[in-house]
Amino acid sequence: MSTRVTVWHEYRHEKKNPKVAEIYPKGMHEAIASHLRNNKDLQVKTATLDEVDHGLGGDLLDNTDVIVWWGHVAHGDVKDEIVNKVHERVLQGMGIVVLHSGHFSKIFKKLMGTTCDLKWREDDNEREILWVTRPGHPIVEGIDDHFILPNEEMYGEYFDIPEPECTWMMSSFTGGEVFRSGCTWTRGAGKVVYFRPGHETFPTYYDKNVLKIIENAVKWAAPSAGSVAHTFGNRKMGWVDEK
């Protein structure tokens, strides 16, 4: 049974910044999607901000099991009605994998209930070391106890998120900062993943460890096949003896 994945991308940097366009000629979403397509259990689509309804209209969300989300400079351009639809779908069971600067997206802040703010720095000499802090978690399947990204943007604590249900990866940076780089939460029936790396000016989404983790996260966040809808609202006294 395959998992239907939609990779959503802001897709603005590539159009304006030649450096980004050179690294990701088809956009960051295609770098991610093309990796996911190698997994025959995944059905992969992409959607971007400047499409009609941000590419998320019609029944696409209803037919999406897991959405991957990258945004940065245009969080404010995402329409609230679309954010609300994504939010509703997550509570119903659709998984969401929020990447890097997606920490400031409307949908992530709405799911977290906090500012999701952090410290940051762009520096050409910043090295990120990512450490596994929950070996055995399906999201770090096949990942060594650490891996290194030679160049990345720094994100530093305090990261204003609710205490994660699981912190499965933490980073250190050249400058001495630390960050909870891999976290999960549950909202309603939906699983929420945050994974830190992916600054647009570095080829992070070609790194085999990063891609493997995104792929693992998509599989982990997929809804259970046989989920039963829960019910809310008014109920009569005596229901239990009428059965």
136-155 residues in contact with a copy of itself (CB under 8 A) are 136-138, 140-145, 148, 154
What are 33-39's contacts with CB under 8 Å, separation 24+?
A: 33/5, 33/7, 35/205, 35/211, 35/214, 35/215, 36/5, 36/7, 36/214, 36/215, 36/218, 39/215
Does position 66 interact with a copy of itself (CB under 8 A)? The reply is no
Tell me whether residue 34 or residue 133 sits nearer to a copy of itself (CB atom).
133
Site for a copy of itself in 190-219 (CB under 8 A): 190
Does position 63 interact with a copy of itself (CB under 8 A)? The reply is no
Site for a copy of itself in 171-190 (CB under 8 A): 171-178, 180, 185-190
What DSSP string describes 16-75?
H-HHHHHH-TT-HHHHHHHHHTTSTTEEEEEEETTSGGGGT-TTTGGG-SEEEEE-SS-G
Three-point CA angle 183, 41, 69, nearest 5°: 40
Does position 40 interact with a copy of itself (CB under 8 A)? The reply is no
Site string for a copy of itself, 4-33 (x = CB under 8 A): ------------------------------
Find the shortest distance in angstroms from Cβ 30 to a copy of itself.
26
Find the shortest distance in angstroms from Cβ 212 to a copy of itself.
9
Q: Which two tokens stand for residue 55?
A: 């590419």
Q: How many residues bind a copy of itself (CB under 8 A)?
A: 79
